[in-house]
Structures are given as C-alpha cells and as structure tokens.
Structure 1
C-alpha cells in the first residue's frame, strides 16, 4: 500500500483502519535501524523526525485504503501506492518521551477537514500507556508539489 521501502518504510503493521477516516499502526524499534548508527552512537534515541515519518506513513495507509475501497467491485485499483502524497506541514508536535531500541510504537491517525487538495490529520504515538508524541499534520491528497 505504500511506495516506501527499506530503510524508509517506518511501519510494520496497520490495523483498525477505517478507510479515509482513521487507523492504528505499529512500529517495532530495533537497534538495527540505520539511524541509530549516528543518533547517538553511545545512547541510541529514535529521531523525532522518524517518529513523525512513521505517523505520516500510517496516514498514507488510511488514504490508500479509501482509494482501494472506492474502486468498483471487481475492478483493479491499480497501484494505489502511487496516490500517496506528501507531508505539507507539521503543527503543534509535542514530544514527551524518548524512543529507544526495544520500544514498540503504537501509532494513531485521524483524518480531519479537507482544505482543497490538503487534509489536516491528528496523529499520536505512544509506547505502552506513555504518550511519545502528538500533533497535527497537513498532507497532500496526491503527488503534487505543496
């Protein structure tokens, strides 16, 4: 469903996806992630930008699920991953806990209002019951420049 591949594929699983509305996902954080080699070699911490990318990729799954669902029954939805757009903005993002190897991120995304070709999305990441990050993203509905 996503055009991303290793090392930029940041979600392991999506579930509870309501096409075009919301979804949940999981990112298992391994010490083998390529960014840990330099962030930081003596104290591995997942960069905040990678947490945001994980949440954005879950948003893409919710979008693609809507496209697949909207396809006529029996029709080929084509390569729906080509409809994945871009991250337009990050707002009010708050980080409240470090993410380290061995953690399992639970990701949540809820699509909000449409703003023409853009859409506001509320996102959240947690480890267990502890919130890691939360905020708002604006994403494009296709591969056009923002």
Structure 2
C-alpha cells in the first residue's frame, strides 16, 4: 500500500527526531479525526540493547509513544487543513509547532510482545474534546492481531491555549 505520508513528510510534521521517532509511514489519514500508521520494528533499535538483552521486546511505553506520535500527525494535519482548505502547508508555517502534549494514559493493555521483525500498525481515533483536552482511542496490531489497546488524552500546545 502506497503511503499517504512518507518518512520525510512525517519528519516535517513532528518535532521528534531519531532515535525517538517511532512512525515510518502513514497509510490512512482523515485529518483531525483518525489515521493508521506503520512502525517497522528492527533489531537495530537502540532500546533493544537493554530491553531485554537475551529476549528483545519493544517496551510498552514506546508502543504508547508511537501511537501518540500517530495521534499528533492526525491532529496537526487537521489543524493545517483548517488553515489551508487544500491541506497544503505554507513554507511559513512550522507544522511541528502544532504538536501538543500527552496528558494521560488510561486502560492500556498489552496483549502480546512486540519483537524485532514485527510491523506495528498504529490505529488512532480522536474522540470528544473538552476545552484543550482530547480523548483518543488507540490500538496497535501486528499481523492483524491486536497487541495493545487503550486510550490517551492529549492537549493542544500551550501557546494555543
């Protein structure tokens, strides 16, 4: 499947950089509402050196971070679409300036370990908002099997408040 956003485009949207960028491409996107992204998990990830040396497992908090980064892409593209009805980004606008903050994680369940060679499919659905806080349902899959699910709350960037 051809990506909606490739790695270079994602790097232009998110402020995160290697080794803390956990989103390789976006394959489905409804700006401001929902999206599906891909994280290819490789043995060369720095976190595998210590988690765990003899049994490499992607830390759950990094799965949450990957889902939060996908959420940021959905949110930022929604905000940019409001600015430009065509969804194009003016060179004067810094998309990463719209990325907010992870506020809370709720009811997170990790159902299966994620290991080198897996391809994480990251599903996010932005739900209701109250003021500057939005509820987001998040689910990660490997080979169409659910490996993590829960919800997060995110806030708009402080400068927007």
TM range (shorter): over 0.9
Distance 1:143 1:42 in 2: 42
The question of whether the paired residues in 2 share the 8 Å contact of 1:105 and 1:125 is answered with: yes
Spell out structure 1 runs of 4+ moving beyond 4 A. Answer: none
CA RMSD of aligned residues (A): 1.4
Partner of 2:8: none
Q: Is the 8 A contact 2:110 2:148 kept in 1?
A: yes
Query: Which of 15, 31, 35 is matched with 2:43 structurally?
Result: 31
Q: CA deviation at 1:16?
A: 1.4
Larger RCO (CA under 8 A, 6+ residues apart): 1
1:57 aligned partner = 69
Query: How far is 1:75 from its partner?
Result: 7.4
TM-score, with length taken from structure 1? 0.94
Aligned length: 144
Query: How many angstroms apart in 2 are the aligned matches of 1:103 and 1:16?
Result: 19
- What's the TM-score once normalised by structure 2's chain length? 0.86
Q: Does the CA contact (< 8 Å) of 1:84 and 1:143 recur in 2?
A: no
2:154 partner SS:
strand
Q: Corresponding residue for 2:14?
A: 2
Gaps of 5+ in 1: none
